[in-house]
Amino acid sequence: MPSSRPAAAEVRADFLVIGAGLAGLSYALRVAEHGDVVVLCKGAVTQSNTAWAQGGIAAVWDDQDSIEAHVEDTLEAGAFLARREDVEAILAEGPAAVRRLIELGVKFSRREDEEGYDLTREGGHHARRILHHGDTTGWEIQRAIVAAAEAHPRIRLIDDQVAIDLITQRKCMRHLAKRRLGLRGPEVEEIYGPGGPEGWMPGRRDRCLGAYVLDVPSGRVRVFSAPVTLLATGGSGKLYRFTSNPDLATGDGMAMAYRAGAVLANLEFVQFHPTCLYHPSPEAKSFLITEAVRGEGGILRLPDGTPFMDDVHPMGSLAPRDVTARAIDAQIKRHGLEFVHLDVSHREPEFVRRRFPAIHQKLMGLGIDMTREPIPVVPAAHYFCGGVKVDGHGRTQIDGLLAAGEVACTGLHGANRLASNSLLEAAVVGERAARTALDAHAAARDIAPADVPSWDAGAARDADELVVVAHTWDEIRRLMWNYVGIVRTDRRLARALRRVALIRNEIRTYYWDFKVTRDLIEVRNLALLAELVIRSSLGRRESRGLHYNSNHPETDDVGWRRDTLLRREW
């Protein structure tokens, strides 16, 4: 599909950012002090995963708390898969990251006496260390950081841009092969492998040159070129039938990085948030009931009122998310239920309305008064603890390519994310990646710019049966929910792998025959990521954190206290 004719990049910048959430914009604000920045937003700039975060950001902010205690809670919640030194380094920078957000204008909720911030507690935390803005923390952070980015003269935000693939030196070599032999992309790889006829020198690192990007309003594919590219595309909750994520969370960054040759890690650890609202109304789609409801005394009950978490975990209804989601799933299956209840009606009504204003208003619109009755909830796909493998400074295995936020696997979360550590990680690693980018940009000045082929649709035509894409998307999500969900088995995983292999073959043919659209790009990425999640899950022969396989129910620290790594070349 990319043209064989070398052409100047249509858009050049010093720094390219794909994704406009907290990680991407924190990074952009920092590097913009040293060069021009282009930030690509998949939808509107306000529609990132960050904006959907309700609970808050975890950071040590009280004299009664400590970094050491936060580290221990994080390691325990993550089933001790994370490396202590990585966790310590990231969490130690948490308070400074929060201060930067406050300086940008984020208004965290204060105590009634106005003497300090109103710190709350969530599942897995043994201390109150969650700063929040009511129950709309993500929206408040996104508001402030977007305003700062829009006001910066060297940052250009572009809406409705869907990245298709990263451009690397190796990819450019494949395009030369296409020109020489007159082959389509799949045929080049079938004959010569991922390196093309030139191959690739053993031990030589590839370099990222930018990305091919679909401008949705015009349907045109453009080339964005930069010495340094940051992936900040978020996760892939839409891989599952039920999710708390917005529609844009389709794993684009992970899929692009894998196709480009980066290493992905720990994709089997998909976090299912225990408490998504269960309601038939379309208005309730993906509506999350924040972890903070449990932190403020919410109790998980069966429909008859019986609490069930005290026999499951010492922290009861405040247990970590992996434990809580499995317990809810078990009760639903054991009793043939559609949902369980989250009950905070024993708290003072005025406190509930003041602490959770957005949730209270939303539920009242659906006929549920959380101050007087319990909330029907179910688990839903929420967060990827794995992703593009990076060090603590956002570096991937490809020169000029960085990653931060949910798309990246820094090692902080291990096998399960501690509540509200996601915004913390995005802010800290976004800042750290910026420092890395400045060094990478300086080093790239001595490298001659490569000729980047422009995009050419070739003989691709407009799709004549869009129902194929819609059906495939639905099939993938149902397959993943039923076979690769909260509880897994070897048989289900093997069945899922066979089916998703057929789906990927169908999509591959469709992709090369028809012009790219947002839906086609997304379903291509979802199918690839589905296969990678399944392969990672089959590879881990134990149960740990978010990965529970009833054929291997025990945790094996001797054989499996290590990362699961995937790379295209392997």
530-548 pLDDT per residue, tens: 999 999 999 999 999 999 9
pLDDT of residue 569: 83
- Residues whose CB falls within 8 Å of the CB of residue 290, separated by 6 or more in sequence, listed in order: 54, 55, 135, 275, 356, 359
Secondary structure (3-state) at 243: strand
Residue 401 near residue 166 (C-beta atoms within 8 A)? yes
Q: pTM of the entire structure?
A: 0.89
Residue labelled with tokens 């903070």:
292
Distance CA 499, CA 149 (A): 44
Q: What CATH number is given for 467-562 in this structure?
A: 1.20.58.100
- Which residues in the chain show pLDDT less than 70? 1-9, 174-204, 445-451, 456-461, 463-466
- Cα 162 to Cα 157, 211, 349, distances in angstroms: 13, 10, 44
If one counts every other C-beta atom within 10 angstroms of the C-beta of residue 499, the result is 16
Residue 512 near residue 188 (C-beta atoms within 8 A)? no
pLDDT of residue 2: 42
DSSP 400-454: TEEE-STTEE-SSSTTSPPTTHHHHHHHHHHHHHHHHHHHHHHHHTTSPPPPEEE
- Cα 257 to Cα 211, 417, 508, 528, 567, distances in angstroms: 11, 22, 18, 11, 10
Give which of 73, 64, 84 is closest to 125, Cα–Cα: 73
Q: Count CA atoms closer than 13 A to 529's CA, side-chain side.
A: 34
Percentage of the chain surpassing pLDDT 90? 73
Residue 429 near residue 422 (C-beta atoms within 8 A)? no
pLDDT of residue 181: 58
pLDDT of residue 49: 84
User: Which active-site residues does the annotation give?
Assistant: 321
- Residues whose CB falls within 8 Å of the CB of residue 100, separated by 6 or more in sequence, listed in order: 26, 427, 431
Secondary structure (3-state) at 381: strand
- Please give the angle made by the CA atoms of 433, 437 and 439, to the nearest 5 degrees: 125
Distance CA 119, CA 126 (A): 12
If you classify domain 274-379 with CATH, what class do you get?
Answer: alpha beta
pLDDT of residue 249: 94
Q: Which residue type sits at 156?
A: R
Which is it for strands 220-225 and 208-215: parallel, antiparallel or unpaired?
Answer: antiparallel
pLDDT of residue 506: 87
Domain range list for the chain: 274-379, 467-562
Distance CA 389, CA 260 (A): 13
DSSP 290-340: -THHHHTT-EEE-TTS-B-STTT-TTGGGS-HHHHHHHHHHHHHHHT-S-E
- Cα 570 to Cα 194, 263, 566, distances in angstroms: 11, 10, 7
pLDDT of residue 204: 63
Edge-to-edge strands, sheet with 37-40:
155-158, 37-40, 15-18, 228-231, 401-403
- Cα 438 to Cα 27, 155, 445, 510, 550, distances in angstroms: 11, 16, 11, 40, 47
Residue 508 near residue 523 (C-beta atoms within 8 A)? no
- Cα 50 to Cα 6, 45, 109, 167, 433, distances in angstroms: 38, 11, 18, 27, 18
pLDDT of residue 186: 54
Secondary structure (3-state) at 346: coil
Secondary structure (3-state) at 277: strand
Instruction: List the structure tokens of 397.
Output: 């295995």
Determine phi and psi for 424, rounding to 5 degrees: -60, -50
Residue 366 near residue 340 (C-beta atoms within 8 A)? no
Helix, strand, coil abundance in the chain, percent, nearest 5? 40, 20, 40
pLDDT of residue 286: 78
